Amino acid sequence: MTPTLIARLPWWVSLIAAAAGGYLLDVASPALAWWPAAIAGAALVFASVWQQPWQIGLQAGLVAGAAFWAPHISWLTLYLGPVPWLGLCAVMVLWFALFGIAAAAATRGIARLPWFSERVGALVVAQSLAAAGLWVLREQVQGSWPYGGFAWGRLAHTQADGPLAQAVSWVGFAGLSGLLALACALPVAALLSRRSAAVGASGIGASGIGGARLRGPVLPAAAAALVLLLVMALVPAPPLPQTGALRVAAVQGDSKSGIFDDRESGDVLRDHVAATEELLDRLEADDETVDVIVWPENSAEFALPDNPLAAQRVARLAKRAGAPIVVGTILANPDGSYTNSSLIWGPEGAEPGRYDKRYPVPFAEYMPNREFFRALAPDLVDLVQLEYTAGVLPAAFEVPSAAGPVRAGLAICFDIIFDAQAVAMGGDGAEVIFAQTNNADFGRTDESAQQLAIARLRAVETGRALVNISTVGTSAVVAPDGGDLATLTPFTADAMVAEVPLVEGKTPALNAGSAIAAFWMAMGALGCAVAAAATWRRGGRAAAADAPRAVPRALRGSGAR
């Protein structure tokens, strides 16, 4: 049997491609949001690891991960300095490095299987599915571990402002990442696929590409990738039944609500009271009303139910508006822990309905392994004084609005980035989504724009209007198709009003998104298994070739050696 030529980039070209690919993935993300750059970026990352030895795959993964994550989350350095940024970058880059090893091994192992030597089309498809599955597997693992994970910087997120966004309503975030990765992997697989050929006949080694005959898969693979992208761009989102409409107002107080902001207790509440009073002045002047008012995360500060003066001020606003106010406040638990919560406040005070943030942020809202990390960075660790616990209440509650009872899904800050939260909101009957957040700790960096992009995709995925309201911005009311119904200028005290549709039912993404994610992860795991089997088989053949051979009976004693 002739050996299979394994085409790959030279190691130094591989590292350049990895750096360029990682950087382009960041260029595709907000605030630049040049979404086509994600396609080129992912393709370059794939090319950098394709059919490489695991050592080069490791290096390429490290370079690609660093080139992406270092600029992508540079907003962490604004107030906290380089230590948290370096720590989170290290974890995220580690996942990229493991992806590099796995993708290199899978694509190389599949190419070594004899069955593919005369079936280059099947080789291209198998390698591409495995590589795309490993990409999704990396994203899913980084979004769940360690400490609950960080489901940020996914390939799907780059498409929030592009023509492929509607596809997320069919396949979910993991499905969109997987299909994009597949479209990027197919041309790479075709370009680097080669027929089996004798090394002696071609005069090149296993790493070479000259002399080996391309079997013609490049144009079909490129066409398949283009068709896949066109289908994702042209297929409209599935419509959901509309049950009514809601006139919603959202208030951005432009508060000094960051960790290091110089403020007095009650300042954030006063800012939102003042901005709401200005809103009501405008509404009354125009003889208009709203059905519900939404304030951001932490807008009512600590323990609103236990602060009679603050509770009375919010209740007076609700009475004047003739509409309840959904506020954000911090509540103490009997065991000394806290919850980051949303409450409904009406003219008579607290209404039934409460939501507690399900995904508190490690190292910000609670400190895991406090003693260990305090020994490394005591000043930073001591900034985290409160221990927030994960909420267990339903992800939607009923708001007694002026338009009648409305089931609102809640997502506080980084809750919105987790797929399970979208499933929970849909399962709990949300007709609209209120995404309350506080981006003050990140100033005028890209963080708030990146978060809004994720929220925009979440609106399309769930088929529901979404109110993304921040203390400082970026704030917007997003339609179910991802378009803006209203926006606010960041770092201004203002309010926005929009009429949003209320819907019921679930999109295909909510019904099958978990199964689609499992499919892609299975493709990645299967690719690794095939690579392991190919490596074991190759090692077994090598061992057999080196084993001593028995001397035929006829030659025994004849002096043959």
Looking at this protein, which amino acid is placed at residue 366?
Y
What's the rounded Cα separation, in Å, for the pair 226 and 128?
Answer: 15
Tell me whether strands 466-470 and 432-437 are parallel, antiparallel or unpaired: parallel
Report whether pLDDT(555) > 70.
no
Looking at this protein, which amino acid is placed at residue 322?
G
Model confidence pLDDT, tens digit, residues 86-108: 999 999 999 999 999 999 999 99
The pLDDT, as a whole number, for residue 214 is: 46
**What size, in residues, is the chain?**
561
Q: What are φ and ψ of residue 409, in 5° steps?
A: -85, 140
Model confidence pLDDT, tens digit, residues 291-312: 999 999 999 999 999 999 999 9
Task: Say if residues 504 and 243 touch (Cβ distance below 8 Å).
Answer: yes
CA neighbor of 268 nearest in space, from 316, 332, 327:
327
- CA–CA distance from 124 to each of 32, 107, 517 (Å)? 33, 9, 22
| Average pLDDT of the chain to the nearest whole number | 90
Q: What are φ and ψ of residue 197, in 5° steps?
A: -155, 150
The pLDDT, as a whole number, for residue 539 is: 60
Looking at this protein, which amino acid is placed at residue 348?
E
What's the rounded Cα separation, in Å, for the pair 60 and 22?
Answer: 10
Tokens standing for residue 94: 């580690």
Report whether pLDDT(459) > 60.
yes
Residue 407 pairs in a beta bridge with 398
What's the rounded Cα separation, in Å, for the pair 465 and 315?
Answer: 26
CA neighbor of 32 nearest in space, from 160, 166, 181:
160
What's the rounded Cα separation, in Å, for the pair 177 and 523?
Answer: 14
What's the rounded Cα separation, in Å, for the pair 44 and 16?
Answer: 9
CA neighbor of 503 nearest in space, from 172, 318, 235, 237:
237
Residue 293 pairs in a beta bridge with 249, 325
Tell me whether strands 404-412 and 396-401 are parallel, antiparallel or unpaired: antiparallel
Model confidence pLDDT, tens digit, residues 161-216: 999 999 999 999 999 999 999 999 999 999 998 543 333 333 333 444 444 444 46
Could you tell me the maximum CA-CA distance found in the chain, to the nearest angstrom? 116
Task: Say if residues 500 and 248 touch (Cβ distance below 8 Å).
Answer: yes
Report whether pLDDT(556) > 60.
no
Model confidence pLDDT, tens digit, residues 435-457: 999 999 899 999 999 999 999 99
Model confidence pLDDT, tens digit, residues 152-163: 999 999 999 999
Helix pair angle (82-111, 54-72), 10° resolution: 150
Report whether pLDDT(5) > 70.
no
Task: Say if residues 477 and 486 touch (Cβ distance below 8 Å).
Answer: yes
Looking at this protein, which amino acid is placed at residue 23?
Y
Alpha helical stretches, state H, 408-498: 419-427, 447-462
The pLDDT, as a whole number, for residue 196 is: 36
User: In a 3-state reduction of DSSP, which class is residue 306?
Assistant: helix
Model confidence pLDDT, tens digit, residues 488-529: 999 999 999 999 999 999 999 999 999 999 999 999 999 999
Model confidence pLDDT, tens digit, residues 125-140: 999 999 999 999 999 9
The pLDDT, as a whole number, for residue 544 is: 44
Model confidence pLDDT, tens digit, residues 319-368: 999 999 999 999 998 888 899 999 999 999 999 999 999 999 998 888 88
Task: Say if residues 39 and 183 touch (Cβ distance below 8 Å).
Answer: yes
Strand order in the sheet with 432-437: 396-401, 404-412, 432-437, 466-470, 476-478, 484-487
Residue with tokens 């892609």: 520
The pLDDT, as a whole number, for residue 201 is: 36
Model confidence pLDDT, tens digit, residues 59-73: 999 999 999 999 999
- Give the rounded percent of residues in the chain with a pLDDT score beyond 90: 76
For Cα atoms 93, 457, 487, give the angle at the middle one, nearest 5 degrees: 115
The pLDDT, as a whole number, for residue 538 is: 67
Other CB atoms within 10 A of residue 392 CB? 8
Low-confidence winner among 1-5, 279-283, 384-388, 544-548 (lowest mean pLDDT): 544-548
What's the rounded Cα separation, in Å, for the pair 456 and 30?
Answer: 12
| Residue 560 DSSP symbol | -
Per-residue b or e along 271-282, where b marks 16 or more CB atoms closer than 10 Å to that residue's CB:
bbbebbeebbee
The pLDDT, as a whole number, for residue 216 is: 67
Helix pair angle (168-191, 120-142), 10° resolution: 130
DSSP string, 509-523: HHHHHHHHHHHHHHH
Report whether pLDDT(548) > 50.
no
The pLDDT, as a whole number, for residue 197 is: 33
The pLDDT, as a whole number, for residue 212 is: 42
Close Cβ partners of 424 (under 8 Å, ≥ 6 residues apart): 358, 394, 395
What's the rounded Cα separation, in Å, for the pair 522 and 194?
Answer: 26
Residue with tokens 């003066």: 309
What's the rounded Cα separation, in Å, for the pair 447 and 465?
Answer: 22
Element spanning 370, H or E: helix 370-376
User: In a 3-state reduction of DSSP, which class is residue 554?
Assistant: helix
Report whether pLDDT(479) > 60.
yes
Model confidence pLDDT, tens digit, residues 202-240: 333 344 444 444 446 889 999 999 999 999 999 999 999
Other CB atoms within 10 A of residue 242 CB? 13
What's the rounded Cα separation, in Å, for the pair 55 and 76?
Answer: 31
Task: Say if residues 530 and 524 touch (Cβ distance below 8 Å).
Answer: no
